[in-house]
Structure 1
Amino acid sequence: MTERLARLIPGQLDPAQRAVYDGIAAGDRAKGVQHFPLTADDGSLNGPFGVMLHAPGVGAALQELGSTIRFHTDLSTRVREIAILQVAQATGSEFEWWAHERVGRAAGLTDTELMQLSLGAFGGEDPVESASAAFVANLLASSSVTDKEYAAAAAVLSSEQLIDLTVLVGYYRTLAQLMTVFSVGVPDGERTPVGEHRHAH
């Protein structure tokens, strides 16, 4: 797959682009263990982040929202990663699956759970995880949430968690759409269950 936008390296960036780059490559995402590489060998940003540099006004807001969703919500790490992988599976986003399968494994997701998620299902025993996964599945399957679906989620999850999950789904759908439009996939040589499933059809 040939990307439709040039991969910008640090020396090519104007000040607005550099601010976005630094927010991604030197912000919260760069702290601690790196489960997937944010940058390529030439310093260009991988995945949706490289796209954001081409529109730094929107890119700055997007990367800040993404950082907030990843690091500053009321969701546990497992709940967050289950939800992100649900979006990746539903949208067929190879990069989202490739990146967040790694983060999910580090958060304790098992091979069985990852297989379930790759097939569009999740059968956890934890009530918060199950309620979150069901709520996200509703959001991904329909543009509305029925009173019954909402009541089931609200019986287990706080209002803040419901808001966090709703925004998470919208954000990762946006990233998936950006990568589809601009032909951004996983780094060369990588393959994902979602990618294999999508190319088999």
Structure 2
Amino acid sequence: MSGPRVRALRPSELTADQAAVYASIAGGPRASGPKLFELTDPDGRLNGPFNAMLLSPTVGDALQALGAAVRYGTSLSDRVREMAILAVATSWDSEFERYAHEAVGRAAGLSEEEIVALRDLPALTPTDVREAAALDVVRALLERSDLDDAEWDAANAVLGQDEIFELTALVGYYATLALLMRTHRVPAPPASGAGGGAGGIGGSGAE
């Protein structure tokens, strides 16, 4: 990966519209809870996909709001959600998604063995029926962007239509972030332990 293509903006450099999006990200639900990763750098500049969202405040605000809904407003269990996000990270080889969500996944109860297995999608076979069904859906969406009739029926019998919809939206959202970060050459922050770094705003919810 080459260097970042977009300069990270300090809070003092933001327009009013950009500042409103920044406040929704840095002061919203993502910034609450345990500090599991760095949401900003020591100068207050947004990490990950969020700085790029400031380039177009209208689109960026809609995108971050979708992310908050997918992250905090679904019926998916924490474990299922983080398994799905890490599966997207593997499929897209997304450094930042892996950086943020392996930390969140541990807090959600994923073991180190499960996290390692999620770096190689076929390696993880959950013993929980609902988790296995959810991961089957995610794998199919990542591999073929679709569920065939048999896959739909199998997932619907265990998860129901609501959770299939939520998983589909989640995969689409995190794939969008991975594409955004790939195009803009966004790296993960330097390793700094589990907590938010000095001067940074930690976050439990990631993207």
| Normalised-by-shorter TM-score class | over 0.9
Paired residues in the alignment total 190
Residues 149-173 of structure 1 deviation map (CA, whole Å, 9 limit, x = unaligned): 1011101002111111000000000
| Displacement of 1:189 | 4.6
Quick one: distance in 2 between partners of 1:147 and 1:91? 26
Say whether the 8 Å CA contact 2:38–2:189 is kept in structure 1. Answer: no
User: Which contiguous aligned blocks of 4+ residues in structure 1 show a shift greater than 2 angstroms?
Assistant: none
Q: Percent identity?
A: 48
Distance in 1 between residues matched to 2:169 and 2:183, nearest whole Å: 21
* Alignment match, 2:155: 153
Higher relative contact order, chain-length normalized (CA < 8 Å, sep 6+): 2
SS at match of 1:155: helix
Q: Greater CA deviation, 181-190 or 130-139?
A: 181-190
State the Cα RMSD in Å: 1.0
Gaps of 5+ in 2: 193-207
2:134–2:155 CA contact under 8 A, matched in 1: yes
The aligned amino acid for 2:29 is D
Residue 29 of structure 2 corresponds to residue 61 of structure 1: no
Counterpart for residue 80 of structure 2: 79
Summarize deviations over 1:117-162 as a string: whole Å, max 9, x none.
1011321111111000000000000022100010111010021111
Matches within 5 A, 1:1-201: 1-121=2-122, 122-189=124-191
Letter in 2 for 1:171: Y
Q: Return the alpha-carbon distance in structure 2 between the equivalents of residues 87 and 34 of structure 1.
A: 23
For 1:2 and 1:187, the matched residues in 2 are separated by 13
What TM-score do the two structures reach when normalised by structure 2? 0.89
- What SS class does the counterpart of residue 51 from structure 2 fall into? helix
Long gaps (5+) in structure 1: 191-201
TM-score relative to the length of structure 1: 0.92
Deviation at 1:106, TM superposition (A): 0.5
